[in-house]
Amino acid sequence: MRLLFLLKEGIAGFKRARLAATISIATITLSLSLIGMFALLVHHLSAQFQQTYGRIQLEVFIDPAIDSAQRQALEGRIQQLAAVEAVQYVSPEMTLQRFQQDFGDDLLTVLEGENPFPPSLQVILKKEYAELEKVEAAVEAIRALPQVDEVIFQEKFIRLINRYFFIGLIVATTIGATIFFISTMLIFNTIRLTIHSRKTVIEIMRLVGATHFFIKAPFVIEGLLQGLIGSLLASGALWLMSDLLRAFFLPGLTIPWMYFLFLCGTGILLGLLGSYFSIGKYLKF
């Protein structure tokens, strides 16, 4: 009976303060759409970045006198390292061919018919080993292996990527946190206004002896519903927006389903907390 009354009151709150509830839901929808779009874009750009630059490649030059069995054993040992995702043998002929493609057939004339390139192994590191310290550790481990002459990698490039990725991450986090903060304040204030418009109800409830739980519950339920509806609408808007972006600008854009869960959770939480704290102002005793 009590729970039913609280639920009915919570839902009836929408009808009783239609305009305020609509504004509240619209604010939640807009704020969460903004947060969702920003998070989605950051996620997409970060994924693209990782895809393009995230896999570090090492060139491992090996002893030219190595025989096939020894080379395969070495490949196996490198492959066993935790940082390594793939190892591929590059013969001197393959290297020459590549150079020929880049510099033209004249290269053989310049080299007077000889192939000066040593055999090498192309080692691709796992994505999670894209940081400089981890790359250096992997390089040291490979250098320590017998029959490895030299290991080279694009140290400067990795430093640059790491730095810009870090700066980008800080900038994105700052912008994201600012959007989230402003949205939260906006939602809280809108809910506060919604509750303020019904302060007579709260006053009457207090006067007739309703407990704080009984006074708060309908407003918290209402706030929760507003948050849920707002977040569902924001999820819909995000889905539509991502569809448009995918069609016209970002073909590879995908939305992890966790994003919708995050939006719904955030919406519910903001609606719930916003109404809980706003109503507290009217309930000293």
Partner 1 sequence: MIELFNISIQLGKRQVLEQVSLKINKGEFVYLIGQTGSGKTTLLRLIYMDVFPDRGNVIVDSYSSSTILPRHVPFLRRKVGVIFQDFKLLPDRNVYDNIAFALQVIGAPQRTIKSRVLSVLTRVGLHHKRYQMPQRLSGGEQQRVAIARALVNKPFILLADEPTGNLDPQVARDILHLLENINRSGTAILMATHNYDLIRQYPHRTLVLENGNFSREINPEELA
Q: Which residues bind partner 1 (CB under 8 A)?
A: 1-2, 5, 16, 200-201, 203-212, 214-215, 285
Q: Which is nearer to partner 1, 172 or 210 (CB)?
A: 210
Angle at 179 between CA 271 and CA 175, to 5 degrees: 150
Q: In angstroms, what is the minimal distance from the CB of 222 to partner 1?
A: 14
Check if the beta carbon of residue 231 is closer than 8 Å to that of residue 28: yes
- Closest approach of Cβ 232 to partner 1, in Å? 27
What distance in Å separates the CA atoms of residue 134 and residue 82, rounded to the nearest whole number? 11
What is the biggest distance separating any 2 CA atoms in the chain, rounded to whole angstroms?
104
CB of 213 to partner 1, least distance (A): 9
Helix H segments across the chain? Answer: 2-16, 18-53, 68-79, 92-103, 106-110, 132-143, 155-196, 199-207, 212-248, 257-280
Q: Is residue 260 a contact partner of residue 235, using CB atoms and an 8 Å limit? A: yes
Q: In terms of CB distance, is 164 or 213 closer to partner 1?
A: 213
Shortest Cβ distance from residue 20 to partner 1 (Å)?
A: 13
User: What order of strands is seen across the sheet that includes strand 148-152?
Assistant: 84-90, 120-125, 57-62, 148-152
Which residue, 139 or 205, is less far from partner 1 as judged by CB?
205
Q: Which residue's CB is nearer to partner 1, number 5 or number 181? A: 5
Nearest approach, Cβ of residue 194 and partner 1 (Å): 15
Q: Report the residue number, 11 or 170, with the smaller CB distance to partner 1.
A: 11
Q: From the CB of 48, what's the least distance to partner 1, in Å?
A: 53
Question: Nearest to residue 125, comparing CAs of 74, 86, 156?
Answer: 86
**Which residue's CB is nearer to partner 1, number 113 or number 209?**
209
Radius of gyration (C-alpha) of the chain in whole angstroms: 31
